Amino acid sequence: MGISVVACIVLSAILMLNAQQSNGALSAETQMLIEEANMSGPYLGLVIPNSFEMDPLLQSPNFTSSNLFVDFSGRRFRFGTIANKQVILVMTGLSMINAAITTQLLLSVFNIEGVVHYGIAGHANPSFNLADVVIPQYWSHSALWSWQRYGEGPQDELPLEANGDYTREFGYLNVANYTVNVTDGSSYDNLLNNIWFQPEEVFPIDGTPEERQHAFWVAVDPLYYEISQELEELELERCLNATTCLPHTPKVARVQRGTSASIFLSNAAYRSFLYDKFNITPLDMESASVALICLQQRVPFIAIRSLSSSLTSGGSGDPNEASKFITLASKNSVTAVVEFIKQLSLHQLLINH
């Protein structure tokens, strides 16, 4: 689903919130809590997909809760500190839509200096293993497609391409390349034909209203990415307990690219395609939404993901292993996020003094 649709849903949520305020459905106490919280800002926003990714941070000795939380629009915004930095934690729920709505609400309502998104992810890069933590420099949404009709090829213009709605710039997936059980030497094609990957329409707050721009690869904040280099020497856990350990020691690494779509991706062939075509490492269902919202709102962001699946040399994951170690992957992502915030806080302290 394109970001234009996401933007409409986000706008509807904000309008509903404003309507609630004018109608008194949002209590005076909640409005007062929001105003008081913003007076104590700015905050670093921590955007987290699910409870099993958030709970290890809530239970971490590095997080000190202020015992303040604000509930509205189905979200709970939790306040506290990490490494003397004021933070707001909010859970998005699954998928691109939820992540976009939650991030926009966070940035529209609270005084936010930057956004850190973290959690677990699948992956496509055979250089990495289960419970490794990766920090991409660029994110894309890889499920906004122009699906070409049968009989047309790469040389044929896409519908509405001349109007600037769609493009052949980023390449395509030829489904016929993955046809199997074909006799050697025979010709074949596939009715599913080609899928062309598309950039999002974006409308930055400092741009002309309704004048669209396009974005496919969204870069994380350069300073945040530079600071994240300090995490590459971080020691991560490899054992769930005294008897259950991974055969390797997980590591933290900065990588070139990650991608997101509202797809739970277990298919090895498609993962291989994304790696070969785009040099993708992590695959998830939320990060690109956070990236696209922060891009349009001009708010610094970074996404940190721990890999919750493994790839064998044949490119297939072991779901039993991944299920067993998902808790470890979640904890490793929290370890990396806490260290990132410590390094960010130290950097800002040195700059201010």
pLDDT in tens, 160-198: 999 999 999 999 999 999 988 777 666 678 899 999 999
- 163 Cβ contact partners less than 8 Å away, ≥ 6 residues apart: none
Distance CA(343)–CA(339), nearest Å, equals 6
pLDDT tens per residue, range 117-165? 999 999 999 999 999 999 999 999 999 999 999 999 999 999 999 999 9
- 154 Cβ contact partners less than 8 Å away, ≥ 6 residues apart: 168, 172, 194
Can you spell out the DSSP letters for 170-232? Answer: T-EEEGGGG--S--TT-----TT-EEEE-PEEE--TTS-TT--EEESSEEPPHHHHHHHGGGG
Local confidence band at 276 (pLDDT 50, 70, 90 cut-offs): very high
pTM across the whole model:
0.88
> Does the pLDDT value for residue 328 go beyond 50?
yes
- Candidate from 5-9, 157-161, 229-233, 248-252 with smallest mean pLDDT: 5-9
Q: For all residues of the chain together, what is the average pLDDT?
A: 90
Residue ranges, comma separated, of all CATH 3.40.50.1580 domains in the chain are: 22-136+205-352
- Superfamily (CATH) of domain 22-136+205-352: Nucleoside phosphorylase domain (3.40.50.1580)
User: According to the model, what pLDDT value does residue 179 have?
Assistant: 87
Distance CA(353)–CA(349), nearest Å, equals 6
